[in-house]
Structure 1
Amino acid sequence: MVYYAFAEISSSLRKTKSQSFTNNSASKLKLRDVKGALLDTEFAMCEGDDNAKALFHQGQAYMALHDIHVAVESFKKALTMEPNDAGIKKELAAARKMIADRRDQEKKAYQEKKAYSKMFQ
Structure 2
Amino acid sequence: MFKLVWRDNEGNANRPVREDLLLLRQRGYVTHLVRVLDYKSENDAWRRDFNFYRIVEVLWGISDWINPATAFRASKVFNYSTVLNYEGDNATYLTDLSTFKAHWQGDDGLRNFQAYIHTYLNLA
Structures share fold, TM-score greater than 0.5: no
Larger Rg: 1
User: Which structure shows the higher helix fraction?
Assistant: 1
User: Which structure shows the higher strand fraction?
Assistant: 2
With the length of structure 2 as denominator, give the TM-score of the two structures: 0.23
With the length of structure 1 as denominator, give the TM-score of the two structures: 0.23
